[in-house]
Amino acid sequence: MKALSLKQPQAELILQDRKKIELRKWNTNLRGKFLIHASKNPDESAMKRFGFKDLPCGYILGEAELVDVKNYKGDKEEFEKDKGLHLATEDWWEFGFLGV
């Protein structure tokens, strides 16, 4: 099974179903279930922003399903509309991996 590494708290937010879109600069043809790996080093500013103090890092934490990829390139309006699903503050990402 494929795995996707994410910094904490992004991995936890996906597992809690609070984050439905993972943003990346690259596209993928992968669809289906994949493992969620929490990378070794958390994103400290995001940990504070979402109210987390300590989360497991360096482990496979669960699984999710990738159902589609959304291209945000040049579509700031669509990116802003989906803000509650991807929880990002930056607008330079191109592709949103849509999960269930």
Average pLDDT for runs of 10 along the chain of length 100: 95 94 85 96 94 97 92 81 76 57
pLDDT at 71: 84
Structural domains of the chain sorted by starting position, each given as residue range(s) with its CATH number in brackets: 3-99 (2.30.130.30)
The pLDDT assigned to 100 comes to 46
Q: How far apart are CA 14 and CA 99, in angstroms?
A: 9
Q: How far apart, in whole angstroms, are the C-alpha atoms of residue 70 and residue 78?
A: 10
Residue type, position 65, single letter: E
pTM, two decimals, is 0.82
